[in-house]
Structure 1
Amino acid sequence: MEPGKVMGLDEGWALMEVGVTKLTRILEGKKEAPFDSESYMRLYTTIYNMCTQKPPNDYSQELYDRYQKVFKDYLTKTALPCLREKHAVFLLRELVVRWSNHKIMVRWLSRFFYYLDRYFIARRSLAPLSDVAMTCFRDLVYKELHSTAKDVVIELIQEEREGGQIDRALLKNVLDIYVETGTDQYKNDFETLMLKDSTSYYSRKAASWIQEDSCPEYMQKAEECLRKEKERVAHYLHSTTEAGLVKIVQTELLVKVAKQLLDKEHSGCRALLRDDKVEDLSRMYRLYQPIAKGLEPVAEVFKQHVTAEGNALIKQAEDAATSGGVQDQVLVTQIMELHDKYMDYVTKSFQSHTLFHKALKEAFEVFCNKNVAGSSSAELLATFCDNLLKKGGIEKLSEEAVERTLENVVKLLAYISDKDLFAEFYRKKQARRLLFDRSGGEEHESSLLTKLKQQLGGQFTSKMEGMVTDMTLAKDSQLQFETYLNDSVATKPGIDMTVTVLTTGFWPSYKTSDLNLPSEMINCIQVFKAFYEGKTKHRRLMWIYSLGTCNVLGRFSAKPIELVLSTYQAAVLLLFNNTERLEYKEIVEQLNLSHEDVVRVLHSLSCAKYKVLKKEPMSKTISHNDAFEFNSNFTDRMRRIKVPLPPMDERKKVVEDVDKDRRYAIDAALVRIMKSRKVLPHQQLVSECVELLSKMFRPDIKMIKKRIEDLISRDYLERDTDNPNTFKYVA
């Protein structure tokens, strides 16, 4: 174009039409040479010149309008007729081709009209050329065909769900048109309708599968459906669809049929737990874990199942008790094995989810707090520990097995509400183990105490640890005593003597008596007293004869037999060194013992297995009119025998001691709460007291009320004058 010459609109547009025609022929696949740089520059320059001429020859607005017309003409005259004659998958393919061509056309024309886009549109705040072209496609092609295309896509998705092979790349390209056409097009024109259709599809499937399949088969299908839907999103659906699609599968296949699925008679959750189907339970967890409150029914079934298993063990133990005594060891071992088994389920199949830890805890709390044949769970566990830690119990197990069992003891104790009762029973039994040299080893005693201390605190184990320490000190004291006796100056006791010195505060309270000791024993005590007073002046010795043991040589006609006896038994037998026959009343007078103690001792010596004394008249019970003689004809195949005393039922005393301690604990808790709060209503005071003490025992509400009344009478608390249900702390 010559310099200074003005280009008319028609003249310039004629040049542009040549370029547009060339472009459309290329897009339609007709034989046409590609654009070279010269032709490209000619078209660009034409637009540039027509836009930079001075008014009225600035044709920017006209070119903007004609740019839009180019697209309208091409889409209505060329693209739409081709699309209208296609159906099903062929329509989708044609639509993808037309969309691709449209984007190519936009790209090329935008280059030719670049100057228009860069300056005119920017100054006038008009829609950019690319938006104009997109609007044309949306208004002319997309609006007419998106619904039909959507139906075809949904049909293909259904076909794929039923196992058919489809062209995923084609679907991806079609759905990209929905996404690229506008912000809400994909969601409104495709996703919403596809999700609605998916809901119907999976609702039908659920109704069919829940009737036909077992629970494991159903879950496998549900898991596969979830996997495939996520795969579908990855291949051709938009990423925003995944959440909605997954929720539909979860709702239709899992949530709505949860009760039916979990309760299936021969294959539901209970059956899976019963038959140890670990893999299926893991799948159940995986499926229901992402669903809000989805695991709650599973956890509830788990809790019920574990509770039932535990209750069955208790029932079994009860039945065994009626036919031959409670099998303490067996029952506790079975409960430990049950705990190991289901804790394994919690950690592996249920991924240590808090809901299942809670379910396991609540289940064990139910049956671990049941009495068995009159014995509380606290007593049974203490007895189990006693048998385990005794000589003979430890030796049967490896070090590893002992440690594992001790850990299990502490785990079970966590479920027992009356931990203070366990502590008292355990302490009594521990004391007997230590005092009578029945313990399997200090190492294991200390190991259990360390574990208990970690779980329940130092206050729980302080007395138990004190007893172990006392025994070590007592051994040292005995060695010092032996050294003292070996000193030629020291008075000799006349017989071998071992004394265990204990600290009163650590040990259970034992019954003391003013037993009239035989002269041989009096001499021993005086010797030890002289030794001990030489060591310390600050402690007073109090002798507990009921815990003593004596080895006495019985000179019987057949052969001499060494008798291992309690101090009380020995004292009775030594009376017969000076006389052949003694009446019951004489024995009581000479020993200065209670009727209860004398009856137990005489029964063990004359009515039980070893009849060292002859009783007149012969019977199985001791009465005030009985007379006793030394049985010189007594014999036994053993040269050394232990004559046991009838066992005492300590259970009642332990319970009484614990009840007394509980009263003190409740008093202390109430005062502590009121001291910090000053004023509290009754209900809140009770609930806070329960919470404070529940770590050690479950306080009885009636007992708390009694203690409150007692504290009021002792002027620690007072009732509010306006509201008698509110208490005040009396400073």
Structure 2
Amino acid sequence: MIPAGNRRSKIRPPRKSLVSSSLESSTTDPTVDFEKSWSILSNAIVQIQNKSVSNLSYEQLYRKAYILVLRKYGGKLYENVATIITLHLLKRRDYLLTIYNEEEFMKATLVEWNEHLQSMKFISDVLMYLNRVYVKEHKKLLIYDLGIQLFKDNVIKYNDDQVGKRIVDTVIQEITKSRNGEVITTNMYITKLINMLELLVESGSGDIQFGENYYQSVFEPAFLASSETFFYKLSSEFASYNLGTKYIQSTSRFIKEEEGRINFYMPESMYPKLNELMNNIMIKDRIDDILALPYESQGLSYLLRPVVVNVVDGKNESYHIPDLKILYELIGRIDDEYDLLRLRLKEHIKQQGEELPQQVRSILEKANGDKKLNPALFAIKWIETVLKYHDEFLKIHEQAFDSNSSVSLTITYAMREFINAPPTNRKDANSVNGPELLSVYMDYHIKQSAKTAPSKDIESLDSRDYVDVFIERSIKFLRFIKDKDAFEAYYANHFAKRFLSSKSGSQIISSNNKMGIDIEELLLSKLGEEMGTTSLDKIIKMNKDIKLSKDITNDWKKLITQSTKKDLIELELKICNVNDWPKSMVKDYKAFSNDENNETSFIWSKQLRPTIREFEEFWFSGKKNDNKSLYWSPKFGSMDLRISYPSRTYEINLATYAGIIMLLFAPQSTNADGSLVSAFEENKELSYEEIKELTGIPEIDLKRHLQSIAVAPRSRLLIKNPMTKDVNNSDKFKLNEKFKSPSIKVKVLTVSAASSAAANSSGEKGSSKAKTEQEEEAEEVRSNIHEGRKLEVNAAIVRIMKSRQTIKHNELIEELIKQLSNRFQPSILLIKQRIEDLIEKEYLKRDDEETNIYHYIA
């Protein structure tokens, strides 16, 4: 065997005396000297190649080569060395081709390669002076590098790459077996053969090595082409299962295995190339089709379905977190921004969200049986469902999507899309009005907070204070609302109703709140933090009216306490500035005035008139309200009456209209001693027409309240003759002396407008009328929203024009959308209309030459 050594190890040069004597003896016949010397060197090279080196004298061999180079035989020596190496390599190549077993072929090739390198190390040591002088001077390959080049040309590439192609094909076949799951025993051979191919560098002019090696020029293209074919075949095989989860699981598993193979077999330069090829074929080309697979084939809809099932149906299906995580990782390999995942995720969330209203309605209708669905219950259930849906998606986002911020934004935007979808048809089961339902939700819970037992739907979910949880959820949902101005309009409407319909002029206080914090104040504070106090300007002004009403109520109570007049009544006052309160509630406030020109004016009971006159004098005293007008509106508020029935005396709370009707039956005559005759002794009976004439109550409201006190079983204070559900013009009424209630305090609930209209009308006519009445207020709110938007767009245009003075049309639209986006999404049509309006009002004008340019002129 050839002794181990380093290719760069040095042999000590001969002493000068030896060299000198050698030179002296060779000066006579230089030609013969070369042949003799070459004979010795060639014989030594052959012995080195045959691994028989025990008898060689490296010092003598070095001296021979040294002398030949000095005698200018360096070129001939270099060529002869190349020739003898070539002859040896051609024989070894022929031997390799006789091996048919692929594993043995790989092993033999590596043996030949390693032995050749070892031989070249020793030959390089012998020809060290040739390398140092001739090779360097003539820019030839070093002897060792020449040996590698000759191995490439005479073993690997000889005869049209006969051996090289076999090596490449064999390595690819072995890797393909591994990819197919077979256990191979050639792992180390593959790695070493690839390392060998990397050392076989191409040579250019002057035999200088440069550029690509055999691995890069031959093996890599062949391997990538083979891999491409394999990846296409494998992805088709995985897709043929027609199961999305099966595809992503199989693909993920294969990719991890393939990455291990790449790292084990291949140089670092292969990883990005093969990785990109694998990602493009197995992920990029297929993943969108996998996501789009239907539920039965376990596409994205299948992976996300448990969210809806668990939230809506209350089930506990396990989430497909592992599969979603794999999906996230696969898509991340082809897109750092996860655009495809975010797009499909948004589509599915929108689709699921659009189905929620119908699913919520179905659950409520099933629970209520034949009863009509309560809008407030729907709002509560829908909002709670949406919030829970969002919470569940955040869990998936955290566990499967690595808390990716861009995915989180996509979830939020998708939620906003279906929450703010325009209600195209109110009869559509999937159509909802997000701002309105949020206001209904808040209105319900504000009222609930005043009760001793709060609603279980919030209390059971969190041990914290009921009010805190409700406000937190309300604000959370509000952040999904795009049209904040619409929410404000609905909230203002409910805010006004709560105040005007409540028994007390004071605001609602949470019974659960030990500190006694005003829930309306607390909620307004939180809304102000979220939306800004300027956007809540009208509601804040309404709240000031409420506080003022409370103060005036206290002053009035003090006044009647000190007054000697016995006929004054205690009032809980609710005084509203008509400019700040919803028009739907104050639009007809003058209809109840005692104006002589008002033919339909309301008639206050004589028992109340002294108090009304006294309060008006109090209101205008001290000239503090001289610049204001005062109107009384009986359609809101309530009255407390103490009525002595034969069975017992009851304290009855009822609406103002109903109280006015009951006062008609109060005793009017006196006994001989001056005491009032009992109302039941008078046994007064009044017809419907008489009640209508004596009160001036509008017909629709009159029938509603007569139903409340004469038809409703639990609050039948009057007897209606004949006793039917509807109220007719021919009906007559009198006190019900048999009225009884388990409690002394009785609250009379007012029949809804829809129920009253249905009972007092026949056929479609009554239903249509009831529908119109119900929608009238909503239409008024929508109208207010539209008018408010006109003003806001106008104001925004003026602000922009003041700042810019001159601006192009498109730039103005961009600025407007940017400024108003936190309030609502203005349509292009509305913007154009407002621009034209301001041009007519001479706030701005178009440029004389370019019509798409505006100038501020106000």
Inter-CA distance 22–660: structure 2 relative to 1 (3 Å threshold): same
Shift of 1:152: 0.9
CA contact (8 A) 1:583 1:625 kept: yes
Asked if 1:134 corresponds to 2:148, the answer is yes
Structure 1 match to 2:237:
208
Asked if 1:158 corresponds to 2:158, the answer is no
Asked if 1:324 corresponds to 2:372, the answer is yes
Structure 1 match to 2:297:
267
Inter-CA distance 120–508: structure 2 relative to 1 (3 Å threshold): same
Inter-CA distance 405–522: structure 2 relative to 1 (3 Å threshold): closer
CA contact (8 A) 1:288 1:294 kept: no
Inter-CA distance 600–164: structure 2 relative to 1 (3 Å threshold): closer
Identity across matched positions, percent: 23
Larger mean CA deviation between 4-13 and 206-215 belongs to 4-13
Shift of 1:192: 1.0
Q: What TM-score, normalized to structure 1?
A: 0.81
The one-letter code of the counterpart of 1:274 is R
CA contact (8 A) 1:304 1:363 kept: no
Unaligned runs of 5+ in 1: none
Structure 1 match to 2:157:
143
> Which secondary structure does the structure 1 equivalent of 2:240 belong to?
helix
- Using the alignment, how far apart are the partners of 1:503 and 1:16 within structure 2? 122
> Which secondary structure does the structure 1 equivalent of 2:237 belong to?
helix
Structure 1 match to 2:417:
365
- Using the alignment, how far apart are the partners of 1:703 and 1:631 within structure 2? 59
Residue of structure 1 aligned with 2:264, choices 235, 239, 254? 235
Structure 2 match to 1:278:
321
Asked if 1:377 corresponds to 2:444, the answer is no
What do residues 392-437 of structure 1 show as CA deviations (whole Å, max 9, x unaligned)?
Answer: 5845313459666655544544454443222222233244446735
- Using the alignment, how far apart are the partners of 1:723 and 1:93 within structure 2? 83
The one-letter code of the counterpart of 1:667 is N
Shift of 1:82: 3.6
Residue of structure 2 aligned with 1:718, choices 845, 849, 852? 845
Listed as ranges, the matches of 1:574-589 within 5 Å are 574=663, 576-577=665-666, 579=668
- Using the alignment, how far apart are the partners of 1:72 and 1:493 within structure 2? 133
Structure 1 match to 2:115:
101
- Using the alignment, how far apart are the partners of 1:311 and 1:600 within structure 2? 37
Structure 1 match to 2:597:
none
- Using the alignment, how far apart are the partners of 2:246 and 2:518 within structure 1? 52
- Using the alignment, how far apart are the partners of 2:39 and 2:464 within structure 1? 93
> Which secondary structure does the structure 2 equivalent of 1:290 belong to?
helix
Listed as ranges, the matches of 1:343-492 within 5 Å are 343-351=394-402, 354=406, 357-358=409-410, 361-362=413-414, 365-366=417-418, 368-369=420-421, 370=423, 372-373=426-427, 376-389=433-446, 390-391=448-449, 392=451, 394=454, 396=456, 397=459, 398-400=462-464, 406-433=471-498, 436=502, 438=508, 440=510, 442=517, 452-453=527-528, 456-461=531-536, 477=551
The one-letter code of the counterpart of 2:484 is K
CA contact (8 A) 1:474 1:501 kept: yes
Asked if 1:730 corresponds to 2:849, the answer is no
Shift of 1:197: 1.4
- Using the alignment, how far apart are the partners of 1:499 and 1:74 within structure 2? 118
- Using the alignment, how far apart are the partners of 1:548 and 1:317 within structure 2? 34
> Which secondary structure does the structure 1 equivalent of 2:99 belong to?
coil
Shift of 1:180: 1.7
CA contact (8 A) 2:619 2:625 kept: no
What do residues 604-660 of structure 1 show as CA deviations (whole Å, max 9, x unaligned)?
Answer: 444555343556787766788887655555432321112234557432332232222
What do residues 299-339 of structure 1 show as CA deviations (whole Å, max 9, x unaligned)?
Answer: 55544544443343333456677962243333333333333
- Using the alignment, how far apart are the partners of 1:199 and 1:255 within structure 2? 14
Residue of structure 2 aligned with 1:5, choices 4, 21, 32? 21
Asked if 1:194 corresponds to 2:223, the answer is yes
Inter-CA distance 188–126: structure 2 relative to 1 (3 Å threshold): closer
> Which secondary structure does the structure 1 equivalent of 2:149 belong to?
helix
The one-letter code of the counterpart of 1:32 is S
Q: What TM-score, normalized to structure 2?
A: 0.70
Structure 2 match to 1:85:
98
CA contact (8 A) 1:550 1:566 kept: yes
Shift of 1:558: 1.9
Structure 2 match to 1:309:
352
Shift of 1:101: 2.7
Larger mean CA deviation between 442-451 and 103-112 belongs to 442-451
Inter-CA distance 459–98: structure 2 relative to 1 (3 Å threshold): farther
What do residues 593-614 of structure 1 show as CA deviations (whole Å, max 9, x unaligned)?
Answer: 7666666655544455534355
Unaligned runs of 5+ in 2: 1-16, 202-211, 307-318, 594-601, 669-683, 754-773
> Which secondary structure does the structure 2 equivalent of 1:563 belong to?
strand
Matched pairs, number: 719
CA contact (8 A) 1:571 1:591 kept: yes
Asked if 1:661 corresponds to 2:750, the answer is no
Larger mean CA deviation between 610-619 and 382-391 belongs to 610-619
Listed as ranges, the matches of 1:531-550 within 5 Å are 547-550=636-639
> Which secondary structure does the structure 2 equivalent of 1:289 belong to?
helix
Shift of 1:208: 3.5
Asked if 1:337 corresponds to 2:393, the answer is no
- Using the alignment, how far apart are the partners of 1:2 and 1:316 within structure 2? 106
Larger mean CA deviation between 626-635 and 560-569 belongs to 626-635
What do residues 639-688 of structure 1 show as CA deviations (whole Å, max 9, x unaligned)?
Answer: 11122345574323322322221221232233344445556676775676
- Using the alignment, how far apart are the partners of 1:695 and 1:206 within structure 2? 47
Asked if 1:185 corresponds to 2:214, the answer is yes
- Using the alignment, how far apart are the partners of 1:45 and 1:544 within structure 2? 130
> Which secondary structure does the structure 2 equivalent of 1:200 belong to?
helix
CA contact (8 A) 1:718 1:727 kept: yes
- Using the alignment, how far apart are the partners of 2:175 and 2:465 within structure 1? 58
Inter-CA distance 457–18: structure 2 relative to 1 (3 Å threshold): farther
> Which secondary structure does the structure 2 equivalent of 1:324 belong to?
coil
> Which secondary structure does the structure 1 equivalent of 2:114 belong to?
helix
- Using the alignment, how far apart are the partners of 1:170 and 1:473 within structure 2? 94
Inter-CA distance 204–110: structure 2 relative to 1 (3 Å threshold): same
RMSD across aligned positions (CA): 4.7
The one-letter code of the counterpart of 1:192 is P
The one-letter code of the counterpart of 1:563 is I
- Using the alignment, how far apart are the partners of 2:332 and 2:824 within structure 1? 35
Inter-CA distance 461–647: structure 2 relative to 1 (3 Å threshold): farther
- Using the alignment, how far apart are the partners of 2:574 and 2:44 within structure 1? 116
Shift of 1:340: 3.3
The one-letter code of the counterpart of 2:372 is G
Larger mean CA deviation between 85-94 and 616-625 belongs to 616-625
Asked if 1:555 corresponds to 2:555, the answer is no
CA contact (8 A) 1:310 1:364 kept: no
Shift of 1:585: 8.1
CA contact (8 A) 1:47 1:116 kept: yes
- Using the alignment, how far apart are the partners of 2:337 and 2:240 within structure 1? 21
Shift of 1:729: 3.8
Shift of 1:560: 0.8
